Amino acid sequence: MDKSSSSLSVAIVGAGISGLTAAIALRRQGHRVQVFEQFHRPLEIGSISIQRNAYFVIKHLGVSIENLKGVDFTGLIGFGSDNLEGNPQTWKLPEAQKDPGIFCNRKDLADELKRLALEPSYPGEPVNLKIAKVVACDPDQGTLTLFDGEVISADLILGCDGIGSIVRTSILGYNQKALSSGHSCFRAWFEQKQVESRSEFSWITEGISGGRFIFAANEPFRAIFINACDDGKLWNLVAIYTDDNQDNPEWSQSATKEEIVDIYKDFHPNFRKVLELPPGDSYLRWKLLSLPPLPTWTRGRAVILGDSGGATTPYLGQGAAMAMEEGGTLGELFPPGTTVKDIPARLNAFVSLCKPRAEFVSNESVEQGIDPSKRGRYFRSEELQAYILLYDPISAAQKVLSELTGEPTA
């Protein structure tokens, strides 16, 4: 049998975390993978947590953990904004304490995933990564149209094109806009050198390895989240606030230091001082948006994953983790020998495995942002942690695959 008949052609829109994870997972199963990314350098700023559930996937795919230069995420220290008395909380489950996950620089994760996608010595054929904007998708025909009019046909199309996904629109038949959470955030990073020797920053540098979460003691809702990454050399900061201006056409991504400091002016001086540090790059503002549960994720030969299917707010630190779960799951469901005829059933299995989890996580994350009684609940709830962190996406997918094919799991 020649190569083209024993493997599937896969076209992926977007080289973010979901697109690259899926590309690697399908490449190693012997499929021919092309990825279309609109930007030469996709914007990967800030830090993300890779919690236990996502760890299963990246280890399975052979990601070099060392290259991620992670910092252990053993827990959080929570603070009320009016005092420096911290409340340390570690993971409740022994399994999560043993394998706590890491915080890493998003750029390091993206670079490592890209390395594996392109690496000649990794199993399967190197991924064909092209810089091109996709302007249309036909899920039933299995085609993508590029900005220059070129039409690409593929057996399988993955919409990994983020919150404004055009593949999602083509699957649903309408444009589902992301919903406002009423919150926006500023993001910036600092060098460790700027805080390590200053006693007013001991609440950052002392205590458990993990995040620092400061919640406003007064209305309106605001919070500052800080964590280390890049082998401890960088500190990542996300400052969240209630933003009544989100629908204003003048809403702008740029932000001045004066404006930021003013929003948190009632915070303890030691918390405010961190906002006064000169950031590594300028501060940028982001709307925190989420998608509602969608009627479906798949149609014909196409499926969506990552933020295009389940974008959510960052309160559980699980958005990118879901993207990795979904990329890993998809790879397991398409072993060598999968034929075009198998695609619809495999995509349905993928959606059954992943969509309820993404919707659950998104609902919980949005609820924790809206409802003061639920704030920080992820770290208080053994039940939530068990649902999210004890799940191994790879073995779950292998089990479903063996039910579908009648063959024992690998």
Ligand X SMILES: *[C@@H]1O[C@H](CO)[C@@H](O)[C@H](O)[C@H]1NC(C)=O
Ligand Y SMILES: Cc1cc2nc3c(=O)[nH]c(=O)nc-3n(C[C@H](O)[C@H](O)[C@H](O)COP(=O)(O)OP(=O)(O)OC[C@H]3O[C@@H](n4cnc5c(N)ncnc54)[C@H](O)[C@@H]3O)c2cc1C
- Rule CB under 6 A: say whether 363 interacts with ligand X: yes
**3-class secondary structure, 286:** strand
Which partner from the list ligand X, ligand Y, none does 367 bind, CB cut-off 5 to 8 Å by kind?
ligand X
Angle, helices 17-27/52-60, rounded to nearest 10 degrees: 40
- Rule CB under 6 A: say whether 48 interacts with ligand Y: yes
Q: Give the one residue of 16, 86, 100, 210 binding ligand Y; rule: CB under 6 A.
A: 16
Range 220-259, binding ligand X (CB under 6 A): none
- By C-beta, is 209 or 405 nearer to ligand Y? 209
Element (H, E) at 131: strand 128-131
Residue 372 · residue 306 · CB < 8 Å: no
Residue 311 · residue 287 · CB < 8 Å: no
With CB under 6 A as the rule, give the number of residues binding ligand X. 3
Angle, helices 319-333/17-27, rounded to nearest 10 degrees: 20
Structure tokens, 195: 């805080």
CA count, 13 A, side-chain hemisphere, 171: 23
Q: Give the one residue of 7, 19, 328, 364 binding ligand Y; rule: CB under 6 A.
A: 19
Residue 61 · residue 28 · CB < 8 Å: yes
Cis geometry, peptide bond prior to residue 220 (ω within 30 degrees of 0) = yes
Q: Give the one residue of 8, 10, 37, 301 binding ligand Y; rule: CB under 6 A.
A: 37
- Rule CB under 6 A: say whether 129 interacts with ligand Y: no
Question: What is the nearest approach in angstroms of ligand Y to the Cβ of residue 72?
Answer: 14
Q: Binding segment for ligand X among 130-138, 256-264, 343-351, 360-368 (CB under 6 A)?
A: 360-368
- Rule CB under 6 A: say whether 367 interacts with ligand X: yes
- Rule CB under 6 A: say whether 159 interacts with ligand Y: no
Q: Give the one residue of 70, 100, 319, 328 binding ligand Y; rule: CB under 6 A.
A: 319
Question: What is the nearest approach in angstroms of ligand Y to the Cβ of residue 244?
Answer: 19
Question: What is the nearest approach in angstroms of ligand X to the Cβ of residue 366?
Answer: 4
What are the start-end ranges of the H helices in 36-176?
A: 52-60, 94-98, 106-118, 166-172
**3-class secondary structure, 128:** strand
x/- mask, ligand X, residues 31-60, rule CB under 6 A, reads ------------------------------
32-37 and 128-131 strand pairing: parallel
Q: Give the one residue of 353, 366, 388, 396 binding ligand X; rule: CB under 6 A.
A: 366
Q: Binding segment for ligand X among 18-26, 122-130, 314-322, 363-371 (CB under 6 A)?
A: 363-371
Residue 220 · residue 176 · CB < 8 Å: no
Distances (CA, A) of 339 to 8, 155, 333, 346: 7, 9, 12, 10
- Rule CB under 6 A: say whether 49 interacts with ligand Y: yes
Q: Give the one residue of 260, 275, 320, 400 binding ligand Y; rule: CB under 6 A.
A: 320
Quick count: other Cβ atoms within 10 Å of Cβ 14? 29
- By C-beta, is 99 or 367 nearer to ligand X? 367
x/- mask, ligand Y, residues 169-188, rule CB under 6 A, reads ----------------x-x-
Structure tokens, 248: 């204003």
- Rule CB under 6 A: say whether 388 interacts with ligand Y: no
Cα dihedral across residues 191, 196, 197, 202: positive or negative = positive
Structure tokens, 59: 């280890």
- Rule CB under 6 A: say whether 42 interacts with ligand Y: yes
Q: Which residues bind ligand X (CB under 6 A)?
A: 363, 366-367
Q: Which residues bind ligand Y (CB under 6 A)?
A: 13-19, 36-39, 42, 48-49, 133-134, 160-162, 166, 185, 187, 238, 286, 306-307, 314, 317-321, 323
